[in-house]
Amino acid sequence: MPCDEWCRLVERYRSAVATYSEAVRALGVLPGPAFNEVWQRVERARFKCDRGRADLLHHEHDHGCLDAGQSDAEREMSAIDTEELVLGDQGQSGG
């Protein structure tokens, strides 16, 4: 069962991803200096996404709250599901 901290970290990550997505969408419609300003906003949002993902994975690793009360098989499946939730396509080996 995920703990409150895990849920908070997931919500923070989801919010950061939404902000990043909105910032990226704004890139295509701006010329010149305005583009540069939005680009800086996109980079800040990307950094927050990276930080949120790292914090979430760090919490899962250190706290183990997703493993509590599970068998070895359930823990293995949970790790796969959670990694896919967090990493999406980034977690694929490319093969």
pLDDT at position 31, please? 79
Q: Is pLDDT above 70 for 75?
A: no
pLDDT at position 21, please? 94
Instruction: Please tell me the pTM assigned to this model.
Output: 0.64
Specify if 92 maps to a domain. no
Q: Which of 45-49, 61-65, 85-89 has the lowest mean pLDDT?
A: 85-89
Domains in the chain: how many in total?
Answer: 1
Specify if 63 maps to a domain. yes
Neighbouring C-beta atoms of residue 66, cutoff 10 Å: 18
Specify if 69 maps to a domain. yes
Specify if 93 maps to a domain. no
pLDDT at position 9, please? 93
Q: Which residues form the domain of 49?
A: 4-85
Specify if 94 maps to a domain. no
Specify if 72 maps to a domain. yes
58-62 contacts, C-beta under 8 A, 24 or more apart: 59/5, 59/6, 59/9, 60/6
Specify if 91 maps to a domain. no
